[in-house]
Amino acid sequence: MTKDEAAVALAERHRNIDTETLEIVRFLSDDEDDEREPIKLMEVSPATISTGQIDAFTFAATADFPYRTSLAVISPEEWALARQGELPLPNGWTWDRLVPLYRAKNLTHG
């Protein structure tokens, strides 16, 4: 499984767990070919509590999932603030190379 395929599979798995998820995006870096560079996913869900900051939690690779992963789950309000530049992204995450992996149908916010 390639890193790209793994990112899609992980997003699908998380979407099936939290059916309220509105969006899942992947943040790419210039070091994506480095095996130490984690897959960085941000999930937007109204089921999470707003904290006023974006915290990413990083998980080690395992036998079942061979890539390190950093995951941030944020509220729709935090997503809007982040997109407007009012809420900083986690260290090492940039808007430069954003890959949408899921977006709820009929979603109108940006």
Provide the token pair at 44.
Answer: 């937007």
Q: What is the DSSP string of 33-58?
A: TSTTSPEEEEEE-TTSPP-SS---EE
* Pair 42, 22: CB distance under 8 Å: no
**Domains in the chain, start-ordered, CATH in brackets?**
3-103 (3.30.460.10)
Q: What pLDDT was estimated at residue 106?
A: 65
Q: What pLDDT was estimated at residue 102?
A: 94
Q: What pLDDT was estimated at residue 107?
A: 61
* Pair 95, 110: CB distance under 8 Å: no
Q: What pLDDT was estimated at residue 35?
A: 86
Residue ranges of the chain whose pLDDT lies below 50: none
* Pair 22, 11: CB distance under 8 Å: no
